[in-house]
Amino acid sequence: MAEREAKTKKKCLVNVDMDNLSDYARVYAIKNVPIDNDVLYSNVVPRLLDLFSRYDIKATFFIVGRDCGSERNRRAVRKISEEGHEVANHTLTHTAFNGLSGKEKRFEIEEADKILSDILGKPVAGFRPPHLDFKLDKESIDILEENGYLYDSSLCPAFLYLFAERTVLYLRSKRTIKGLRPTISDIQACFAKDRIYKIEGSTLFEIPTTVLPLFRTPFLATLTMASGNNLYFDLGYPLVKRFVEIPVFRLHGMDLLGLEEDALDGSFHVHPGMKQPLSRKTDKFRHIFGSMSKDYEFVTAESVIAKGGPAGN
């Protein structure tokens, strides 16, 4: 019996957003510096696959279609899938959705879908729009449904956190990225459900990024990378473990890049956590995944939804 219980660990999701350096440069208004976006696929993907195999993690990677131009990057995406992880749609160009027309949204979703399903040789099940999180509009949900998607993962019900972060980033981008402009939906999202649920009037499920109970701030690697030692994770994790049914932990490819180790331009030091060596960030991830792997089985988002959502797991 004890053995059987040990085998039925609770489920947990790890999401990776593969936002590229050009996007960060736009957000931080970094101009006229050399940028090698492929470093995410040549350097970060192997690091992540190594970490995930060490802790027996099956993760979901949200990939930007436009980044799959070279055969080398396409091979990296294929390898992600071959190792049992899920590859999901993070749009074609990582342009914020709240400034786009219906036609443009369709283009962003469907062109990325074509690229990714062609690389994988199978349909893509999940979608996440770029630039922080807001409640996805009905038009986009309908496009996803038409294309056979199982879930959307737009929402992060972080109380005021998103509104504040979007405002800071919008100003930092010198008001050049209209999609970063805070809107009323950022405030509404603060009060949204913090659990996987079926979207009303749709066949799709919504998979929100988990927020820490009480604090309502995102269960996000970047905040641990930016905090001394592992403070953010160590404070938040006991709450997540106690109160969240299926936690969704989110990280970005950028979290595993080193300013010096990957020869990034020094101006990227403005990104949270970039002032420390890569080895220190890797240690933080080992701490995070080492702790979580004692309590959880890590599964892909698609597998949770394919089994009928949280109720079927």
Q: How far is the CB of 19 from Zn ion (least distance, A)?
A: 4
Q: What mask of x and - would describe binding to Zn ion in positions 160 to 199, judged by CB under 5 A?
A: ----------------------------------------
Phi-psi region of 193 (alpha: psi -120 to 50; beta: other; left: phi over 0): beta
- Work out whether 206 is an interface residue with Zn ion (CB under 5 A): no
Place of tokens 């593969």: 18
What is d(CA 143, CA 139) in angstroms, rounded to the nearest whole number? 6
2-61: which residues touch Zn ion (CB under 5 A)? Answer: 17, 19
Q: How far is the CB of 126 from Zn ion (least distance, A)?
A: 13
Q: How far is the CB of 64 from Zn ion (least distance, A)?
A: 7
Which residues partner with 17 through β-bridges? Answer: 62, 252
Closer residue to Zn ion, CB minimum distance, 161 or 296: 161
Total residues at the site for Zn ion (CB under 5 A)? 3
| Spatial CB neighbours of 152, under 8 Å, sequence gap ≥ 6 | 126, 127, 128, 136, 140, 141, 144, 199, 204, 205, 206, 207
Closer residue to Zn ion, CB minimum distance, 74 or 252: 252
Residue from 182, 181, 254, 227 nearest 24 by CA: 254
Closer residue to Zn ion, CB minimum distance, 130 or 218: 130
Tokens representing residue 163 in the block = 């509104």
Closer residue to Zn ion, CB minimum distance, 57 or 64: 64
Under 8 Å between Cβ of 296 and 9:
yes
Q: Which of 65, 129, 130, 247 binds Zn ion (CB under 5 A)?
A: 130
Q: How far is the CB of 76 from Zn ion (least distance, A)?
A: 17
Q: Which residues bind Zn ion (CB under 5 A)?
A: 17, 19, 130
